[in-house]
């Protein structure tokens, strides 16, 4: 069983209030366990804590006794900025002319995301229309071509892909079965992601059992070769995240 413990506990002190949590079977066949949620005044504190992990497991093993900490492959933690009113902030900036606030989003954020996106697009057009002419681009193509996922293909299709491009036959991430060809496709995409974590989030090398222990150096090398830069110039996630 591949399991992922998602722990969202960033409180160091003060009164805490836990909520939610569950066991979710992801589309990639992992289990997502948790999270918990506590209030904190430290907006950049993303630590994970042993007691929080224990709390999550003690709660969720009541539902699935087979859960074991030996099966954890990684932990997640994050910070979100709610409001005291516990409601969304969806409005133009009060002191600016070029800023729209989309903040304070908690549950049901995922459910409302499509509707929020439509409303914010309309608001942006309305704001821009006050100072300039806004015309719809009728040539815009909203359909994005899907990227090939070799591990989901049948043998015949995979062999055809490899015959056309041998890079698809060079497996870089053994855990998730990601090929060099798929990594290069991600680098060549309209929105390039030339960082190790960017590639990880786009096509999953480093998401498996070893968490990049085997493939991260190989991904770094591929990025460096594609960009034509030394290995030490490849970043993990941002300009400040030097490998």
Q: Enumerate residue ranges in the chain where pLDDT < 50.
A: 1-16, 18
Q: Maximum CA pair distance of the chain?
A: 61
Q: Are 187 and 154 in contact (CB under 8 A)?
A: no
C-alpha span between 40 and 50 (Å, rounded): 17
- Say which DSSP state 233 is in: G
Q: What pLDDT, on a 0 to 100 scale, did the predictor assign at position 188?
A: 92
Domains of the chain by range and CATH?
Answer: 3-76 (no CATH), 89-128 (no CATH), 150-233 (1.10.10)
Question: Of 188, 212, 211, nearest to 220 (Cα)?
Answer: 212
In terms of Cβ atoms closer than 10 Å to its own Cβ (0-12, 13-18, 19+), residue 164 is: exposed
Both tokens of residue 148?
């090939």
What pLDDT does 19 receive? 56
pLDDT at position 28: 85
pLDDT tens for each residue of 24-69: 888 888 899 988 888 888 888 888 888 888 989 999 999 999 999 8
Q: What is the pLDDT of residue 9?
A: 41
């Amino acid at each position: 069983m591949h399991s992922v413990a998602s722990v969202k506990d960033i409180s160091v002190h003060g009164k805490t209030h836990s909520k939610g949590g569950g066991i979710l079977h992801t589309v990639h066949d992992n289990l997502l366990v948790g999270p918990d949620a506590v209030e904190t005044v430290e907006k950049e504190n993303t630590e994970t804590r042993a007691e929080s992990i224990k709390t999550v497991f003690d709660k969720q093993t009541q539902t699935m006794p087979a859960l074991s900490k030996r099966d954890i492959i990684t932990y997640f933690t994050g910070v979100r900025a709610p409001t005291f009113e516990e409601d969304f902030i969806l409005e133009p900036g009060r002191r600016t002319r070029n800023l729209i606030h989309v903040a304070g989003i908690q549950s049901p954020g995922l459910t409302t995301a499509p509707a929020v996106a439509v409303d914010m697009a309309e608001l942006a057009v309305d704001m821009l229309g006050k100072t300039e002419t806004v015309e719809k681009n009728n040539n815009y193509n909203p359909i994005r071509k899907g990227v090939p996922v070799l591990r989901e293909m049948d043998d015949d299709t995979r062999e055809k892909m490899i015959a056309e491009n041998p890079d698809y036959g060079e497996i870089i991430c053994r855990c998730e079965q990601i090929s060099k060809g798929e990594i290069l496709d991600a680098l060549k995409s309209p929105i390039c992601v030339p960082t190790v974590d960017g590639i990880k989030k786009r096509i999953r090398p480093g998401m498996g059992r070893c968490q990049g222990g085997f493939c991260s150096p190989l991904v770094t090398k591929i990025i460096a070769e594609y960009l034509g830069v030394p290995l030490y110039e490849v970043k993990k996630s941002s300009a400040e995240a030097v490998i």
